[in-house]
Amino acid sequence: MLANYTRSAKALSDLLQREGVEDTQVLSAIANIPRHVFIDDVLQHKAYENTALPIGQGQTISQPYIVARMTELLRLAGVRNKVLEIGTGSGYQTAILAKTFTKIYSVERIKALQWQAKRRLHQLDLYNVSMKHGDGWQGWQSQAPFDGIIVTAAASKVPKDLLAQLADGGVLLAPIGESDQKLIMVIRNGDDYTEHVIAPVRFVPLVPGDIE
């Protein structure tokens, strides 16, 4: 199975390019990461479609377009090295980040998903990722500061702890809102945080508090 995906992944990458993704590093990551590895057996036939899919535990693997676009936005903002991801989920976005940036830290609140994602990344020989089972609202203080922070679940407001863990000049991307969500970008300059609204989006909620 692993060997046969290359044509489908390349076709997905070409589709995303037609939809407006331009960053060659991101397009190459999409073409080289087997998305079917991150998806349950019964949904394998949809693995290379440009759509979000259920991954169990009431969660979803994000649509490839949004994965690519958010990764591209971080690169356009100058991020290259250290990235924190909140909401590991299937691990697919994590794998794309691992191919695009130097070092990834990823936090997931559901232990079963975190464990499964870890196994998948090792299967793909991606070793520049550290994962933590924890509450994303708190970020990952001991590894801060981060050049980029990407949140893949929607919060009612930007978690304060995440803003504090941005490096000076760092960039945070997060979906904000409940039924009406917007992807926002926050750029840190010293104690100043500048917010830009990027686009309407649809993500599962960033759950407050406890971990499972």
Using DSSP bridges, classify how beta strands 103-108 and 53-56 pair: parallel, antiparallel or unpaired: unpaired
Question: Active-site residue among 8, 13, 62, 130?
Answer: 62
Nearest to 176 by CA among 200, 193, 208, 160: 200
- Closest contact distance (angstroms) between CB of 113 and ligand SAH is 5
Q: Angle formed by the axes of helices 24-32 and 6-18, to 10°?
A: 150
Q: Judged by CB under 6 A, which of 5, 137, 140, 146 binds ligand SAH?
A: 137
- Which residue is closest to ligand SAH by CB? 89
Other beta carbons less than 10 A from residue 103's beta carbon:
16
Q: Is 116 in the site for ligand SAH (CB under 6 A)?
A: no
| Residue 62: active-site member | yes
Nearest to 182 by CA among 195, 201, 169: 201
The three-state DSSP-derived secondary structure of 10-28 is HHHHHHHHHCCCCCHHHHH
Q: 38-57 mask for ligand SAH (x: CB under 6 A)?
A: --------------------
- Closest contact distance (angstroms) between CB of 69 and ligand SAH is 13
Q: Angle formed by the axes of helices 24-32 and 92-100, to 10°?
A: 130
Q: Is 132 in the site for ligand SAH (CB under 6 A)?
A: no
| CB nearer to ligand SAH: pick between 5 and 92 | 92
Residues that bind ligand SAH (CB under 6 A): 59-62, 86-87, 89-90, 92-93, 107-110, 113, 135-137, 152-153, 204, 206-207
- Any idea which residues carry the catalytic annotation? 62
